[in-house]
Structure formats: C-alpha cells, structure tokens
Amino acid sequence: MKNEAIVIIGGGHAAAQMCAGLAEAGAGSRTTLVCGEPMLPYQRPPLSKGFLKKMEEIAQLHRAEAWYADAGITVRLGEPAVRIDRERQVVGLRNGDEIAYGQLVLATGGRARLLADLPAGLANVATLRSAGDAQALRAQLNAFDSFTVVGGGFIGLEFAATARGLGKRVTVVESAPRLLARAVSPELSAHVLQVHRDAGIEIHLQARIDGFELADAGEDPGGNAGRLAAIVLDGARHPVDLLLLGIGALPETALAEAAGLECDNGIVVDEFMVTSDPAILAVGDCTSFPDIAGGRRLRLESVQNANDQARTAVATLTGARRPHNAVPWFWSEQGSLRLQMAGLPPAHAERHRRPGAKADSFSVFHYADGVLHCVESVNAPLDHMMARKLLEAGKSPEATQACDPAVPLKSLL
Ligand SMILES: Cc1cc2nc3c(=O)[nH]c(=O)nc-3n(C[C@H](O)[C@H](O)[C@H](O)COP(=O)(O)OP(=O)(O)OC[C@H]3O[C@@H](n4cnc5c(N)ncnc54)[C@H](O)[C@@H]3O)c2cc1C
C-alpha cells in the first residue's frame, strides 16, 4: 500500500466499514473521514423500525468516538465536502478547509426522491433517510392520529407497519399495480398486501394523485413553510395530517458529477470500486457497479452491498485487488413480516414456493434456465441463510427438491 493520505467522504454504512477495514490494515493514521451529518456513522435500518416506537431510543453508532481516536482516524463531523479538485488532489469542505488526498473514497449514499409537483419545505411532509429525519418523524407520530404514505416500497411499508402498530390510521398510496413492485415477486407482493390489509392499513394500488391542497401558510403554528391540507386521490379529497414520501432514493452524485467523474444512475465504478479517476474510489448506495455474473450494471441500496463494496475498496487500496462479486442480500421488517431476499430475481423467472416451518412462513425460489438466481423468504430466517449458502456455493438444486419441505436445504449444499 502506498503511504499516502486516504480521505473518505460519507458517514454511512460504507464509510464505517471503510474505516474498520483501513484500521485493521494499519492505515488508520492516514485516514480522514469527512462526514456531512453532525454525528458519527450510525445504523440506518432501525430508523424506519424500532427507533420510531420509543422516544428514548438513540441512533446506534457503528463505533464509539474513542474507537476512531484509537485507530488514529481523523473525523470531521458536520462539515460536508463541497468540492473535489482532482488536479490538486484536495477536497474542499463547506467551511473553506481543504484536505489533501492521495486516494479519495466517495461513500455519499443516496437522498430521498421528492415529488416534483409538491412544494418543498411543507411542515407536515416528511422523508426518511437520516437520524434527524427519524427523530422529527417520531415526534410527529406522537402528535397525529393519521398518516398517509406515498409509495409502497420498503421504507414506506416499514413506516406504515410501525405507525399501524402504534394504533394510528394509515393509508398507503402506490401508483404501481402491486406493492414492492421493483424489488420482489408478484407472489410476495400479494402476501405483503394481504398482511398489511389484515392489519388495518388502507392500501390504494394503481392510485393517482391528481393534486395537492395547501393550507394557508399563515395557519401553520410552527413556522411559515405552510402545510399540506389534503391530496386529491383518484379524484377524491383525502385529508392529510402527515404525509411521508417513500418513493425511493436517488444516488448522491453531485460532488462526483461536478468533479467530472463518470456517472450514470450512480458513480460509475469498475469491479475494484475504482471510478473513472484512478485516484478516486466509490462505494455503497451511490455507485453503479458491474454485476460480473449478470453482465449488466447495478445500483443496490442495502447494508450488505455497502459493507461488501467497502471491503473490496479496502482490498484495492491495500494492494490486494479482489473483484467485487458478492451475492446480494437484503431484509425488511414490516409488522409481523420478516422479509429476506438472497440473490437478484432474473427478468424471466420460473418461481417455485417452498412452505416454511410455520403457517406464516414460506420461500419463493426463482429459477431461469434451470439455474437458481434468487430466494425470497417470509418469516423463514433459516431458509434464507441456507439459500445464501446455496447461491454463494453456486449450487442449483432441482426445484422439486429445493421446494420439498421434507428435504432440508442444508442437505442440498
Ligand atoms: C430508513 C432506512 C431503513 C433502511 N432499512 C434497511 C434494511 O432494513 N436493510 C437493508 O439492507 N438496508 C436498509 N436500508 C438501506 C441502507 O441503510 C443503505 O443501503 C445503506 O445505509 C447505504 O450505505 P451508504 O454508506 O452507501 O450510504 P448512507 O448510509 O446513506 O450514507 C451516506 C452518508 O454520506 C453523507 N454524505 C453525503 N454527501 C456528503 C458530502 N458531500 N460530504 C460529507 N458527507 C456526505 C450522508 O450525510 C450520509 O451520512 C435502509 C435505509 C433507510 C434510509
């Protein structure tokens, strides 16, 4: 490894894993972490789950302040990077400071997608990405009785299930014909829909928002941003106490684009996480990376992907070049549902269902040309673990065997 300064711009899961890997490789004292948020890297998944239920719950840090100090890592909190000068190899911070780098790592994550027709800054319209967002949302969960969620994706449904579990009235508005349409099979979508409807969540599919009715800014007791009074949903007025936008995330590529790095639905990296500038790497939600097995480019938003890409980037920086080729996996918790996905669903899959050990558990196995690509599990954590092992080992058992509950998946490894 060359003896030069490493600067990480980020402060999420990927950045935290970079710090851990570089410290382990003995490079902590050459590492600076530039974190836009005012706190050390923390766990994001609980923010749409347990964190919302308890006022006293605090964000869980990956590592305490003392760990960074012991590892020799310099941490700059609450000062986002605003500029990359590739010629001089320096990063400019918002307060005007400059930090020189030999190698730079972009771990800038994503930001919540917004609705173009909805004015920004309305007091009762929220997004959920950071601990600050979750804290604000938690306070509003206590203040209101009814919640409208736009978007039937993971974050929207996790929030909806949490709010419903607290006894709130919840409406989910989804423009697609099914929930989680971009991420899971129709079988899983149908099951998730049924469970949430049974729990009392009102769900509108193929819904159309025809307009927004704003309250007079002067009526807002908390400030002057104004409030959303109602949405026009499929032609009918639907009053709004609080609206959460859960319509996906966009990769945070502004810095990279301004610096002239190649971006295409994410910062373009190769299998070693190197961008179009050999001195700059990128990891996590902000990247568009090559899927070696699938021969396409991907952008994934998951903790596993952020961690695995960070491990690959550390290997690149320490000279142990190892291409990124991890089996992706993801989880989501929505009320009584624990969903776990291993692998990626192929475009045209043959799907087979394996019953789980309990009445409310099952897995869906996705095959293409007889090859196992993906397994979705509902309340079946052991089957998920075994499915990951099968995929990692490149095993493709016959669907008749894999979906026979009498055959333990372990025996197919
Ligand atoms: C509410 C919520 C729940 C989730 N639940 C799950 C789950 O159950 N399972 C799962 O696998 N995944 C889940 N995810 C997704 C997962 O958290 C992300 O995939 C993961 O956090 C990606 O890590 P990252 O480091 O790439 O980006 P992030 O964690 O988003 O971190 C990016 C960081 O970069 C900082 N940053 C951006 N620009 C700058 C700049 N210019 N200067 C300095 N800092 C900057 C941001 O402030 C942020 O702190 C969830 C995400 C959210 C928001």
Confidence of residue 224 (pLDDT cuts 50, 70, 90): low
In degrees, to the nearest 5, what angle opens at C-alpha 167 toward C-alphas 165 and 169? 105
Q: Cβ(91) to ligand 1 under 6 A? A: no
pLDDT tens-digit map of 293-343: 778 899 999 999 999 999 999 999 999 989 998 999 999 999 999 999 999
Indicate if ligand 1 lies below 6 Å from the C-beta of 45. yes
Which pLDDT score is estimated for 219? 54
Average of pLDDT values for 160-176? Answer: 97
**CA separation for the pair 60, 41 (Å, rounded):** 9
pLDDT tens digits along 134-150: 999 999 998 999 999 99
Give, for ligand 1, the residue of 303, 307, 338, 384 to mutate: max count of ligand atoms closer than 8 Å to Cβ: 303
- Residue range 377-392: mean pLDDT, rounded: 96
Give me the pLDDT at residue 1, please: 58
CA pair distance 315, 317, nearest whole angstrom: 5
> pLDDT tens digits, residue range 13-48?
999 999 999 999 999 999 999 999 999 999 999 999
In this prediction, residue 292 has a pLDDT band, given cuts at 50, 70 and 90, of confident
| CA-based radius of gyration for the chain | 22
Quick one: which atom of ligand 1 is closest to the CA of 287? Answer: 26
User: Distance (Å, rounded) from C-alpha 92 to C-alpha 84?
Assistant: 6
* Cα 376 to averaged position of ligand 1 atoms, centre (Å): 23
Residue nearest to atom 29 of ligand 1 (CA): 12
Q: How confident is the model at residue 3 (pLDDT cuts 50, 70, 90)?
A: confident
Task: Identify which of 44, 245, 304 to mutate to test ligand 1's pocket (most ligand atoms within 8 A of the CB).
Answer: 44
Is 11 near ligand 1, meaning CB less than 6 Å away?
yes
Distance from Cα 44 to the centre of ligand 1, integer Å: 6
pLDDT score of 220: 53
Asked if residue 208 has pLDDT above 70, the reply is yes
* Ligand 1 atom 20: residue of nearest CA: 303
Instruction: Please tell me the residue having the least CA distance from ligand 1 atom 12.
Output: 302
Q: Which atom of ligand 1 is nearest to 130's Cα?
A: 53
**Is residue 80 in contact with ligand 1, taking CB distance under 6 Å?**
yes
pLDDT tens readout for residues 242-263: 999 999 999 999 999 999 999 9
Decide: 308 in ligand 1 pocket, CB within 6 A. no
Is the pLDDT assigned to residue 218 strictly greater than 60?
Answer: no
pLDDT tens column, 63-100 = 999 999 999 999 999 999 999 999 999 999 999 999 99
Predicted structure pTM score? 0.95
Contact criterion met (CB below 8 Å) for 360 and 336: yes
Q: Read off the pLDDT of residues 356-366 as tens digits, 9 standing for 90 and up.
A: 989 999 999 99
Task: Describe the strand order of the beta sheet including 103-106 as a list of residue ranges.
Answer: 74-77, 31-35, 6-10, 103-106, 280-282
